[in-house]
């Protein structure tokens, strides 16, 4: 039996929005870390460090913030120059509070895809093995007559 349900929508954009709201509600400063090497990332390259870039996305630091399902888009000033930033949601590696570091990290998309592929392989192998093993288990351990299969209660007067 093969599962033919459509692929699930990624959770990352929903988690990023929830964490952003939680950080703002706690009167703290939301920072995001992104993979600046992602081919869809439009970022100021001068601020990239070891392939990553950190942004303060507080309402006072950015304009026109859009935390979408596909991309995070905003404009900010870097060295006084207005800059449009556009990040694929897959490039977001973390969102956290500046004040204490509380937040959430995410796997890089390539790691996430390989982990998902491994899980699918395991599930597929389990699906293939399950029908063969189920009848054996049922035949080997028939219920003993006269003995209840689970605990029972009696009323004692």
H/E segment holding residue 6: none
Rounded alpha-carbon distances, angstroms, from residue 6 to 3, 9, 13, 51, 109: 9, 9, 19, 34, 20
Q: Is the pTM of this model over 0.75?
A: no
Residue boundaries of the structural domains of the chain: 12-106
Residue 100 is encoded by which pair of tokens?
């204490």
| Range 12-106: architecture per CATH | Roll (2.30)
Judge whether 105 and 94 are in contact, CB under 8 Å. yes
> Which residues lie across from 54 on neighbouring strands?
33
> How far is Cα 148 from Cα 143, in angstroms, rounded to an integer?
9
> Which residues lie across from 82 on neighbouring strands?
77
Judge whether 36 and 55 are in contact, CB under 8 Å. no
Per residue of the chain (157 residues), what is the pLDDT tens digit? 556 788 888 899 999 999 999 999 999 999 999 999 999 999 999 999 999 999 999 999 999 999 999 999 999 999 999 999 999 999 999 999 999 999 999 987 655 455 555 555 555 555 554 444 444 444 445 555 555 556 666 777 7
Length of the chain: 157
> How far is Cα 7 from Cα 147, in angstroms, rounded to an integer?
46
């Amino acid at each position: 039996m093969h599962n033919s349900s459509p692929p699930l929508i990624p959770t990352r954009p929903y988690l990023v929005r929830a964490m952003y709201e939680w950080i703002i509600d706690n009167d703290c400063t939301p920072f995001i870390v992104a993979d600046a090497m992602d081919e869809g990332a439009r970022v100021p390259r001068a601020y990239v460090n070891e392939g990553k870039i950190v942004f303060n996305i507080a309402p006072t630091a950015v304009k026109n913030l859009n935390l979408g399902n596909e991309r995070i888009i905003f404009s900010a000033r870097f060295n006084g120059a207005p800059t449009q930033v556009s990040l694929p949601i897959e490039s977001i590696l973390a969102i956290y509070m500046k004040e204490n570091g509380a937040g959430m990290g995410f796997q890089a998309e390539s790691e996430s895809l390989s982990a998902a592929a491994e899980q699918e392989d395991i599930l597929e192998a389990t699906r293939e093995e399950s029908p063969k093993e189920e009848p054996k288990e049922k035949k080997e351990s028939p219920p003993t007559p006269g003995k209840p299969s689970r605990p029972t209660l009696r009323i004692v007067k």
